[in-house]
Amino acid sequence: MNQLDALKQLTTVVADTGDFNQIAAYSPRDATTNPSLILKAVQKPEYAHLLQETVAKFGQHGVDEVMNRLLVRFGIEILKHVPGRVSTEVDARLSFDTEATVTRARRIIDLYQGEGVHVDRILIKIASTWEGIQAAARLERDGIHTNLTLLFSFCQAVACGQAKVQLISPFVGRIYDWYKKQAGAKWDEAAMAGANDPGVQSVRAIYNFYKKHGIATEVMGASFRNVGQITALAGCDLLTISPDLLAQLQASEAPLAKALDAEAAQAMDIPFVQYDEAAFRFALNEDAMATEKLSEGIRAFVADTIKLEAMMR
């Protein structure tokens, strides 16, 4: 059995790509997208027509509507290749505006439903700011499920659990990137691999806290840099993985052991914590890595959204 098949016995595997033609080879249950992945896809000849057709049909309605239509068009194509859900991201420029995030999310859901896609097959991706988490709480109460992304800290995960969001996406690789950069020449790759990887440790702490305290929010590790980070999280609820790393898993027959276990977490001594807005903002501010990577991630998604809009014009 290859590692990908072995992983599927422990964890729900999700494809992290806008390149829907690659998805079928790995048979994931779900798929995730973001502005950067969509930008990358539409620059390929086989997908350029999706942008051209969307602009031709809806260009008169403005850039925001064209963007919504393009994201939904990709989502619909992806859903032809997966039996589960697709995550579609709200404009990162709305990350600090609860009302605008809710409005944009509802518009995206309306477009999907207009194409006959059931609401349960869609996860609306929202940045894990305080405002984004409050928007997600409102959407969840209305039956619209959310994926809270750009999540780097324990306090973000706790607040998402309090908001009863459907799913969170802690970014393993970007946490790893930050600590590696901070260490510079002192970084020991071998010593910091696998279970010692700071991104892996972050997800494990969140997973164990959720399972210990009966929090139903799903944990989906994301943003992987290598296969070792993935195998060190075998047993996590879900893992969203790029096609390159899916291919590496599929090509390997190395043994794979379960690394995360919900029953074991329930026996752990993990205190319960919760955050109001002031406590959340202070805890996030105290975490230099999370503060920096959240801001950087929002800026990067905004930059790629602007590039997409320029292509539309």
Positions annotated as catalytic residues are 125
Cβ-count burial of 51 within 10 angstroms (0-12 exposed, 13-18 middle, 19+ buried)?
buried
Distance CA 85, CA 17 (A): 13
Closest Cα partner for 23 from 86, 81, 72?
81
Task: Give CA–CA dist 261/208, Å, rounded.
Answer: 8
**Angle at Cα 47 formed by Cα 45 and Cα 52, nearest 5°?**
95
Note whether 123 and 167 are within 8 A (CB): yes
Let me know: does 233 contact 221? Beta carbons within 8 Å.
yes
Task: Report the residue count for the chain.
Answer: 313
Instruction: Tell me whether strands 218-221 and 238-241 are parallel, antiparallel or unpaired.
Output: parallel
3-state DSSP call for residue 82?
coil
Of 253, 312, 298, 244, which is closest to residue 64 (Cα–Cα)? 312
Written as one letter, the residue type at 112 is Y
